Amino acid sequence: MKKLHAISVAHHKNTAYSPARRMEVPKTVLIPMSMNIGAPAEPVVKVMEKVKVGQLIANAGGYVSAPIHSSVSGTVKKIGTMVNSMGRYVKTVTIETDGLQEPWEGLTPPDVHDFASFIEAVKACGAVGLGGASFPTAVKLNIKSLDLCDAIIINAAECEPYNTSDTSTMFERTDEMWEGILLLKKWMEAKRIIIGIEDINKKCIEIFQNKVKESGVDGIEVKVLPAKYPQGAEKVLIYNTIGRMVPEGKLPIDVGAIVMNCTTCATIAHFVKTGMPLVEKVVTVDGSAVKEPGNIIVPIGTQLKDLYEACGGFKAEPKKVLYGGPMMGIAVPDLEQPVLKSTNATLAFAEAEARLPEPTACIHCGKCIDACPFDLMPCELEKATEKKDVDRLRKLKVNLCMECGCCAFTCPAKRQLVQSHKLGKALVAADNARLKAQAEKDAAREKEKAEKEAAAKAEAEKKEEKEVVSK
Ligand code: SF4
Ligand code: SF4
What φ, ψ does residue 76 adopt, rounded to 5°? -70, 120
Instruction: Please tell me whether residues 218 and 70 are part of one structural domain.
Output: yes
Look at residue 39 and tell me if it is in a domain.
yes
CA dist 232 to 6, 171, 303, Å?
Answer: 11, 18, 27
Instruction: Please tell me whether residues 202 and 72 are part of one structural domain.
Output: yes
Instruction: Please tell me whether residues 164 and 237 are part of one structural domain.
Output: yes
Residue with the nearest Cα to atom 5 of ligand 1? 372
Residue 80 near ligand 2, beta carbon < 6 Å: no
Neighbours of 167 (CB within 10 A): 26
Q: Which of 400, 402, 414, 423 to mutate to test the pocket of ligand 1 (most atoms within 8 A of CB)?
A: 402
Cβ neighbours for 251, distance < 8 A, ≥ 6 positions apart: none
What φ, ψ does residue 276 adopt, rounded to 5°? -85, 115
Residue with the nearest Cα to atom 8 of ligand 1? 372
Residue 380 near ligand 1, beta carbon < 6 Å: no
Number of domains the chain contains: 3
Distance 392 CA to ligand 2 centre (A): 18
pLDDT tens, the chain, 471 aa long? 677 889 999 999 999 998 999 999 999 999 999 999 999 999 999 999 999 999 999 999 999 999 999 999 999 999 999 999 888 999 999 999 999 999 999 999 999 999 999 999 999 999 999 987 799 999 999 999 999 999 999 999 999 999 999 999 999 999 999 999 999 999 999 999 999 999 999 999 999 999 999 999 999 999 999 999 999 999 999 999 999 999 988 999 999 999 999 999 999 999 999 999 999 999 999 999 999 999 999 999 999 999 999 999 999 999 999 999 999 999 999 999 999 999 999 999 999 999 888 999 999 999 999 999 999 999 999 999 999 999 999 999 999 999 999 999 999 999 999 999 999 999 999 999 999 999 999 999 999 999 999 999 999 988 888 887 776
Instruction: Please tell me whether residues 77 and 92 are part of one structural domain.
Output: yes
Among 280, 313, 337, which residue terminates a domain? Answer: 280
Among 229, 257, 280, which residue terminates a domain? Answer: 280
Residue 363 near ligand 2, beta carbon < 6 Å: yes
Side-chain-side CA neighbours of 404 within 13 Å: the count stands at 29
CATH classification at residue 175: 3.40.50.11540
Instruction: Please tell me whether residues 31 and 145 are part of one structural domain.
Output: yes
Residue 320 near ligand 2, beta carbon < 6 Å: no
pTM score over 0.85: yes
Residue with the nearest Cα to atom 4 of ligand 2? 365
Distance 407 CA to ligand 1 centre (A): 6
Residue 398 near ligand 1, beta carbon < 6 Å: no
CATH classification at residue 290: 3.10.20.600
Residue 372 near ligand 1, beta carbon < 6 Å: yes
Look at residue 6 and tell me if it is in a domain.
no
Look at residue 5 and tell me if it is in a domain.
no
> Which pLDDT does position 130 carry in this prediction?
93
Structural domain span for residue 390: 360-471
Residue with the nearest Cα to atom 8 of ligand 2? 362
Q: Which amino acid is at 132?
A: G
Instruction: Please tell me whether residues 377 and 321 are part of one structural domain.
Output: no
Distance between CA atoms of residues 388 and 459, nearest Å: 50
Instruction: Please tell me whether residues 214 and 228 are part of one structural domain.
Output: yes
Work out whether strand 89-97 and strand 28-32 pair parallel, antiparallel, or are unpaired: antiparallel
Atom of ligand 1 nearest to the CA of 417: 4
Instruction: Please tell me whether residues 185 and 298 are part of one structural domain.
Output: no
Residue 331 near ligand 2, beta carbon < 6 Å: no
Neighbours of 425 (CB within 10 A): 18
> Which pLDDT does position 470 carry in this prediction?
72
